[in-house]
Amino acid sequence: MKRPPPSHHLLATLREDGRPANRSVAFLGFHGDTACVLFQTDSRSPKAAEIRRHPWVEACMHLPDTQEQFRLHGTASLHGADTPDELLRKERCKAWAGLPFDIREWFSGPPPSQIPKSPPEAFRHPVPGPHDPPTESFVLGLLRLSSVDYLNFEHGRRQHYSSAAGTDWQSKEVRSGKGAILS
């Protein structure tokens, strides 16, 4: 069965004080033929600072139509216009071209955590088009997976996958039956 791709997933990082922070990010697919998940974010956001400071993250994707959940563990890195990876630069431009106007406007405006001290009219500015270069604030996040917990709620199946370097994945069934999804 072909799975519909999720449009968003939850991403957990660590704040400066060590407390967890969790938010939704746009899922963009995988980086080439790797086990690296792509997502978009604003380079000026607290999330970006948290990833730079402590790259270990967890993400969770839920596919309600197929009753599946993927719990992803690994390290994240951020990639803007200056990334040396040509494929990532192309994927960044492709992701930018697919953004609706209001999201491109978001990346063109003030930093996401800034509280406006001026009326909204003061923040009006030209918004780059879909075929213009992405703004500096628009970056791709790359989640290099080290382990994945797969849960199938319909069949009560839980499988754990792990890899030391993102290759040579090992798999083990954690539990079968309806109780498998409760842990």
Looking at residue 1, its pLDDT comes to 39
Cβ 29 vs Cβ 38: under 8 Å: yes
Looking at residue 136, its pLDDT comes to 95
Structure tokens at 10: 């939850």
Looking at residue 139, its pLDDT comes to 96
In 3-state terms, what secondary structure has residue 105?
Answer: helix
Structure tokens at 92: 């960044």
Strands 56-63 and 157-162 turn out to be unpaired
Task: Give start and end residues of each alpha helix (H) in 9-77.
Answer: 46-53
Pairwise CA distance, residues 3 & 101, whole Å: 28
> What structural domains and CATH numbers belong to the chain?
8-182 (2.30.110.10)
Q: pTM here? A: 0.84
Residue owning tokens 């992803």: 72
Looking at residue 116, its pLDDT comes to 65
Cα-only R_g, the chain: 18
Task: Give start and end residues of each alpha helix (H) in 54-142.
Answer: 86-97, 101-108
DSSP state of 54: -
Residue owning tokens 């890899």: 163
Pairwise CA distance, residues 152 & 174, whole Å: 12
Cβ 139 vs Cβ 76: under 8 Å: no
Pairwise CA distance, residues 140 & 152, whole Å: 29
Amino acid letter, residue 80? G
Task: Pick out the chain residues at pLDDT < 50.
Answer: 1-4
| pLDDT tens by residue, 94-128 | 999 999 998 998 898 888 777 666 666 656 678 89
Pairwise CA distance, residues 94 & 91, whole Å: 5
Pairwise CA distance, residues 57 & 55, whole Å: 6
